[in-house]
Every structure is written in C-alpha cells, then in structure tokens.
Amino acid sequence: MIKDLIIKNNKKIVMLVADGLGGIPYIDDKTELEYAKKENIDNLAKISMLGLIEPVSPGISPGSGPAHLSLFGYNPLENEIKRGVLEALGIGLELKDGDIAIRGNFATIKDNKIIDRRAGRINTEESHKLIDYLSENIKKIEDVEIIWGKGVEHRFVIVLRGENLGDNLNDTDPQKEGLEPLPLIANDEYSKKTAKILNKLIEISKELLKDQEKANYILLRGISKKPNIETFYERYKMKALALANYPMYKGLCKLIGMETVELGMDFDALIDFYLKNYENYDFIYIHYKWTDKKGEDGDFYGKVKEIEKLDSYIPKILQKEPDVFVFTGDHSTPSKLKAHSWHPVPILIYSKEGCFYDKNAKFTERDCLRGYLGIRKSYEVFQIILALAGKLEKYGA
C-alpha cells in the first residue's frame, strides 16, 4: 500500500545509525546513553520526536541484517536475508545464480571448545594473510569451486560455486564461548551436498590453521543464496546513498539498490563525502560501527566514549539542514550482556515541519520510552519518517 502513496519531492532525509546503540542499566544503574555527555544530541532531543523501536518483534534479538532492513521500512519477517550474501556483496564479490555465500569468523578453539569467537579480533592484515594461505590450499572440493573473500579483522567470506547446492542449513557458530561448534544440519536434499562440502572445508582448514595461536578455526554463519527483493527506489522513489565502513552494511545496501562508495575504515571520510555529495541524493544513510564493537566487548566506558565521539559529528551533519534527520541504532548491544539483545532501541526524529516533543527530554532509553512514538516496529516508523518529509499522499477519498 505504501508504494502506491509515495510522492516524489525534493525533501531530504538523513539517517544516522549508531550500531548497537541501545543499552540497559548497568554502571551506577545507568545505560551508556544515560552516562554519556552528549550535548548536541540531547539538545536536538528537546525539539524532536522520541520513541523506542523493535527491529523484528518483542523479545527477539536481531542480527544486523534484519535490523537494518527494518530500519529501511522492510518487514524482516517477510524479507529474510542471511549474512553471507550481505558480506559477499559488501566486499565486492559478484554472486551468480546458485552460488552459496557464507560469512566466516576466524576463532580460537581448544579441546574442541571455542574460547574466542573472534580470535582476539586479529588485525585485518593478519587475517588477509591467512585468507591468502587458505585460498591457495583450498580451491575446490569435489565438483565445487571455493572462492575466498577478505573482510575486516576476523571476518571473511566463502562462496561455493557448483551445481545442486542448497542453503537450508544452520550456522556453526553457537554465539557463545565455552561451547563446541554446532554441527551442520541440512534440511533438504540439495543442502546435504552443501553440508558435505562445508564439513570437508572445515576439517581441511582446521588442519591448515593448527599452528596458529589465535586463528586456528573457522566458524560459519549466514549460509545463503542471493534473494530477490524490491529495491529502495522501486519502493520509495528516492535516490539513496549508503555511507558505511564495514562490508556487511554496504552489502545490504547494495542488495536493495542504494549507492555505496569505498572509503576505507575512516569515519571522517564518510562525513566528508556526505558534505560534498549531499545535494545529489534524497535519502542518505550513515553508519557508525564502533558503539556495537564496544558493547560486544563488554566495555561500558568504551561505548560511552564512542557515543560522545559520535555526538561531536552532529553539528557537521546538520550543517546541510536535512528536512528530516533520524538518529537511532539498528539494535541494542548492552555492554552488560556483551551481545545483541531484544531490548527496544531509542530513536530520535527531527523534522523541519515540526512534531511532538518534550523540551525537558534527553536522548536516553527512559526518556524515549516516554516519547510520542512509544514503542513501535522499526519498519512501521519508516512510514512516519516518510510522512514527515511529505512523501505520502492521503489514503482514500
């Protein structure tokens, strides 16, 4: 229905996403947002619409892929996209029909128990050397070509290219340390072949990596084929730009037809590109990864510092005076839990046209709970963002 109501106009929307932004009370009974000194975003909160968003459904902890898809107005339960495809597209790999893409993590294993799912977050240079080593030694298993792709830090991509491969398999990553890798379970005949190939790949790579101190094992996630999905422009008639440093987020944006650019790992480079190219787009998404990393590491004060650092960029971003500015996270990553969680995510929406606001509010989870938006699904809130930009016409007579 929304597609039929879209109005094409010159109003501009900017969405700044601090990955894993949400938290829960921890140090001094405060969340990271409550603890942080963030004058710019708190001042903006006093004249903005506030609320909390649920990426998928109550009680469900989302992955970054479905959480972002929901932010862009797509119901993630109706548009399932696994991480392998997103990582592959994000690092520039071309996927053919029938290819199976897999997101990989280097990990540390001892006595068949995972003691570090991220191999101590080995640096990118070291990770790339290991990928070169593996790709030289594992090029084909049976009749299936093995294509390796380099990611950031402990992350990498594997693409399987061959006949009669299925993607109906689980991850091998149990998502917690102290556990054994999960066995691959195939749920249809074609996926049994994929499981057979991947089991061999795991065993061969384990032997090749056995002398590594940290990265001596590989965990596999998001085993998937490329899905068919409506593009952002088809859906909203907006030319969109995605500014992200990490491959997964660029991959998702490529999949839905947003323009992406390769600017390395410097966030300042994203902001500079934004300032120089703002006028060329209707919708600009800017991603900030480091809040999520600190949350996953259980580093409360580190996450606070990242929030404060991001706050310093707010004046630069608002220089362009977008008609609608959105600040939120894709999901919550409380440092107390060291993982993605189900907790609703705070959101701020500023509009030139004006909206309901509270002059006494700050941008915190508790103030957002009292905000006009209340608690809503992320993909439903995108309709409100469109309405504030005058991009939805009246429904019915």
Contacting residues for 263 by C-beta, under 8 A, at least 6 apart: 243, 245, 269, 270, 273
pLDDT score recorded for residue 49? 97
Q: Choose among 88, 205, 212: nearest CA to 155.
A: 88
Task: Convert the pLDDT of each residue in 191-220 to its tens digit.
Answer: 999 999 999 999 999 999 999 999 999 999
Domain membership of residue 308 (yes or no) is yes
Task: Convert the pLDDT of each residue in 226-246 to its tens digit.
Answer: 888 899 999 999 999 999 999
Point out the domain boundary residue: 182, 208, 224.
Answer: 224
Task: Convert the pLDDT of each residue in 88-110 to its tens digit.
Answer: 988 888 898 899 999 999 999 99
Domain of 331, CATH number, reads 3.40.720.10
pLDDT score recorded for residue 247? 85
Q: Is the domain of 332 the same as that of 216?
A: no
Q: Is the domain of 40 the same as that of 92?
A: no
Is pLDDT above 90 for 184?
yes
Is pLDDT above 90 for 147?
yes
For the chain, give the mean pLDDT: 95
CB 300 within 8 A of CB 336: yes
Cα 54 to Cα 70: distance, rounded to the nearest angstrom? 9
87 pLDDT tier (thresholds 50, 70, 90) = confident
Residues in the chain: 397
pLDDT score recorded for residue 3? 84
pLDDT score recorded for residue 378? 96
Task: Convert the pLDDT of each residue in 311-327 to its tens digit.
Answer: 999 999 999 999 999 99
Q: Is the domain of 267 the same as that of 369?
A: yes
397 pLDDT tier (thresholds 50, 70, 90) = confident
| Structural domain boundaries enclosing 305 | 2-79+228-388
Q: Choose among 346, 356, 306, 304: nearest CA to 326.
A: 346
Q: Is the domain of 63 the same as that of 132?
A: no
Task: Convert the pLDDT of each residue in 353-392 to its tens digit.
Answer: 888 999 999 999 999 999 999 999 999 999 999 999 999 9
Q: Is the domain of 46 the same as that of 141?
A: no
Contacting residues for 116 by C-beta, under 8 A, at least 6 apart: 107, 108, 177, 214
Q: Is the domain of 270 the same as that of 377?
A: yes
Q: Is the domain of 208 the same as that of 233?
A: no
Q: Is the domain of 124 the same as that of 16?
A: no
Q: Is the domain of 317 the same as that of 273?
A: yes
- 22, 73, 377 from 54: Cα distances, Å: 11, 12, 5
Residue with tokens 């600190």: 294
Q: Which two tokens stand for residue 299?
A: 């580093």
- 146, 193, 195, 363 from 141: Cα distances, Å: 7, 11, 12, 52
Point out the domain boundary residue: 224, 257, 273.
Answer: 224
Q: Is the domain of 113 the same as that of 200?
A: yes
Task: Convert the pLDDT of each residue in 30-55 to its tens digit.
Answer: 999 999 999 999 999 999 999 999 99
Contacting residues for 73 by C-beta, under 8 A, at least 6 apart: 2, 235, 236, 379, 382, 383, 386
Q: Is the domain of 379 the same as that of 236?
A: yes
Q: Output the furthest CA–CA distance in the chain (Å, rounded).
A: 71
Bridge partners (DSSP) listed for residue 350: 325
**DSSP state letter for 280:** G
Point out the domain boundary residue: 197, 224, 251.
Answer: 224
Number of domains in the chain: 2
pLDDT score recorded for residue 34? 98
